[in-house]
């Protein structure tokens, strides 16, 4: 299961099916990748929001943990699809939405990637600015350059960075926790218990949205595993790495915000590093913060490239992506995210909270439809070559999947509470945002009932491009990078 010596350092493939002969990697890499992706400053800030926005420490910690388990379960179910299908996550959505129709959720996924890359770049720019004694804007540009390099190199390098980031993250977080415990009375903070449904559910939503947002690309990083890899073990490896890493980071954020006396907001990176003192230790922590963001920001940029290639291939037919074209795609993606970061760096915290909560309205219905179809309707019996054929089994537009998706978005609108939009039923519920629960449960139930009756033909088994008699590989499934 280890990578063989002939596997190139620079990834050759993009959105095409990964043949068995090119499969490599171990389940441990799933755990370390997602551990490293979550042991980072943005997760700390997300946890801190539960306290900054009115929650106490005790109930915030419980709410965050519940949200991690709920959202992490959704995320890990997507991860388990990677080894079986050998495909990126979003191209497999053509089963539920059609070859052309899949572009609808994919466009929204691209916007999500841009937002997360931009917000992560802001925090990394702060860290690099402090580390090198330059402005935050210069730090943002330095960080963006690193992301371009790692994204162009691709899958193997991303997993390597994930392993290194997980080790650095564990060391940094152990040290930060030890410093925090020595500077505050943790027991006293835990004794303050003022339960509020709005604050509690905010904490649950923050953690759940954090995890669910990984769903559209988590299979991209498990698709190279051998096809006989256990789905249960893949689920546990990716899910455990993500849940443990995120919860550790968010717990640190909760305690940091609780002891900050209002100094956390607007100075997130400086405050966290300030827990350790100054000098060489502070410099090392600034480095660990920036390096920790490399993993997740690269995942976002790589995912953006995969999504754009998927959209283009759906409408243009066969797509050959040269290395130069790959570089151009990545430069455009990271350049756009960097511009957003430079323009929005001074109003980060409030916008970030609204952004991650608003995202749920668009991604929970997609997750619900994709998971119900894969695990309950088709039961992983995909016709992989037909994913590239607009005239094939899955057609151009799947009205069933698209209609349920639109329903899933609209049915959440009365329950959404963000700066962008607040639904009419939010006040009646005590300002509690339960839209993500509605967006998971109702579309899942509706799609299951409708698909059982009106779903198209399902193959008797998984059909792969390399099988005898399979439809020739065309469209995006033959893309090379």
Residue 373 vs residue 361, higher pLDDT? 373
Q: Which residues contact 391 (CB under 8 A, 6 or more apart)?
A: none
pLDDT of residue 5 exceeding 70, the answer is no
Reported confidence tier of residue 329, pLDDT bands at 50, 70, 90: confident
Of the candidates 249, 305, 226, 242, which has an alpha carbon nearest to the alpha carbon of residue 75?
Answer: 242
Structure tokens at 80: 């388990």
> According to the model, what pLDDT value does residue 410 have?
94
What is the reported pLDDT for 449?
A: 94
108 vs 77, residue with greater confidence? 77
pLDDT attached to residue 352 = 63
pLDDT digits (tens, 9 = 90+) for 216-225: 888 888 988 9
Residue 466: band (very low, low, confident or very high) from pLDDT cuts 50, 70, 90: low
Mean pLDDT over residues 269-298, rounded?
76
pLDDT band at 306; cut points 50, 70, 90: confident
Residue 267 predicted with pLDDT over 70: no
pLDDT band at 318 (very low <50, low <70, confident <90, very high): low
Contact partners, residue 111, CB within 8 Å, separation at least 6 = none
**CB proximity list for 480: less than 8 A, separation 6 or greater:** 12, 13, 14, 16, 320, 321, 322
Report the share of the chain in percent with pLDDT over 90. 22
Secondary structure letter of residue 262 according to DSSP: T
Domain 27-355 of CATH type 3.40.50.20: no
Residue 476 has a pLDDT of 40
Region 325-347 average pLDDT? 81
Query: Which tens digits make up the pLDDT trace of 377-432?
Result: 998 899 888 888 888 889 899 999 999 999 999 999 998 887 777 889 888 877 77
**In the predicted structure, residue 347 carries a pLDDT above the cut 70:** no
Alpha helices in 221-375 (DSSP H): 231-258, 268-274, 280-316, 323-344, 348-372
**pLDDT exceeds cutoff 70 at 136:** yes
* 203, 58 Cβ separation under 8 angstroms: no
Q: Do 272 and 255 contact (CB within 8 A), yes or no?
A: no
Section 130-158 average pLDDT: 84
DSSP states of 202-259: HHHHHHHHHHHTTTTTGGGGTTTS-TTS-HHHHHHHHHHHHHHHHHHHHHHHHHHHHT
**Residue 184 clears pLDDT 60, i.e. is over it:** yes
Q: Three-state DSSP class for 135? A: coil
Q: How confident is the model at residue 433 (pLDDT cuts 50, 70, 90)?
A: confident
Domain boundaries defined on the chain: 27-355
pLDDT at residue 276 tops 70: no
Q: How far apart are CA 12 and CA 155, in angstroms?
A: 9
Task: Tell me the residue length of the chain.
Answer: 481
Who wins on pLDDT, 299 or 69?
Answer: 69
Distance CA 94, CA 333 (A): 23
pLDDT at 474 over 70: no
Mean pLDDT of the chain: 82
Distances (CA, A) of 185 to 20, 47, 68, 189, 195: 54, 19, 26, 7, 20
Q: Which residue has the higher pLDDT, 13 or 364?
A: 364
pLDDT at residue 1, rounded to an integer: 40
- Residue 69 pLDDT > 90, yes or no? yes
């Amino acid at each position: 299961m280890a990578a063989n010596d002939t596997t190139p350092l620079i990834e050759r493939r993009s959105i095409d099916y990964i043949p068995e002969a090119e499969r490599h990697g171990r389940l441990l890499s799933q755990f370390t990748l997602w551990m490293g992706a979550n042991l980072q400053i943005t997760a700390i800030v997300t946890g801190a929001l539960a306290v900054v926005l009115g929650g106490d420490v005790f109930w915030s910690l419980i709410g965050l943990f519940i949200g991690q388990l709920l959202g992490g379960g959704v995320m890990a179910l997507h991860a388990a699809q990677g080894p079986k299908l050998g495909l990126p996550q979003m191209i497999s959505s053509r089963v539920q939405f059609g070859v052309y129709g899949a572009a609808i959720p994919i466009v929204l996924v691209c916007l999500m990637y841009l937002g997360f890359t931009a917000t992560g770049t802001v925090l990394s720019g702060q860290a690099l600015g402090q580390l090198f004694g330059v402005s935050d804007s210069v730090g943002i540009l330095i960080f963006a350059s690193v992301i371009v390099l790692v994204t162009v190199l691709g899958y193997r390098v991303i997993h390597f960075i994930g392993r290194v980031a997980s080790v650095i993250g564990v060391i940094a977080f152990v040290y930060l926790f030890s410093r925090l415990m020595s500077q505050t009375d943790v027991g006293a903070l835990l004794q303050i218990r003022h339960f509020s449904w709005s604050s509690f559910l905010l904490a649950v939503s923050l953690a759940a949205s954090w995890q669910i947002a990984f769903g559209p690309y988590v299979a991209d990083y498990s698709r190279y595993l051998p096809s006989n890899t256990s789905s249960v073990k893949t689920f546990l490896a990716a899910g455990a790495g993500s849940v443990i890493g995120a919860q550790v980071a968010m717990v640190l954020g909760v305690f940091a915000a609780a002891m900050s006396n209002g100094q956390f907001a607007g100075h997130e990176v400086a405050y966290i590093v300030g827990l350790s003192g100054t000098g060489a230790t502070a410099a090392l922590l600034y480095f660990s913060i920036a390096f920790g963001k490399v993993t997740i920001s690269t995942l976002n940029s790589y995912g953006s490239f995969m999504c754009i290639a998927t959209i283009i291939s759906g409408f243009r037919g066969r797509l050959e992506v040269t290395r130069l074209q790959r570089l151009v795609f990545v430069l455009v993606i990271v350049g756009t995210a960097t511009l957003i970061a430079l323009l929005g760096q001074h109003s980060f915290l409030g916008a970030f909270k609204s952004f991650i909560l608003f995202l749920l309205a668009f991604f929970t219905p997609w997750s619900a439809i994709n998971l119900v179809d894969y695990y309950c309707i088709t039961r992983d019996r995909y016709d992989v070559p037909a994913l590239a054929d607009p005239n094939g089994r899955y057609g151009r537009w799947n009205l069933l999947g698209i209609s349920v998706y639109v329903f899933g978005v609209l049915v959440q609108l009365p329950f959404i509470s963000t700066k962008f939009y607040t639904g009419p039923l939010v006040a009646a519920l005590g300002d509690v945002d339960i839209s993500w629960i509605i967006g998971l449960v109702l579309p899942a139930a509706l799609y299951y009932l409708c698909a059982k009756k009106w779903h198209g033909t399902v193959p008797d088994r998984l059909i792969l491009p390399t099988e005898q008699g399979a439809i020739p590989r065309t469209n995006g499934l033959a893309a090379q990078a």
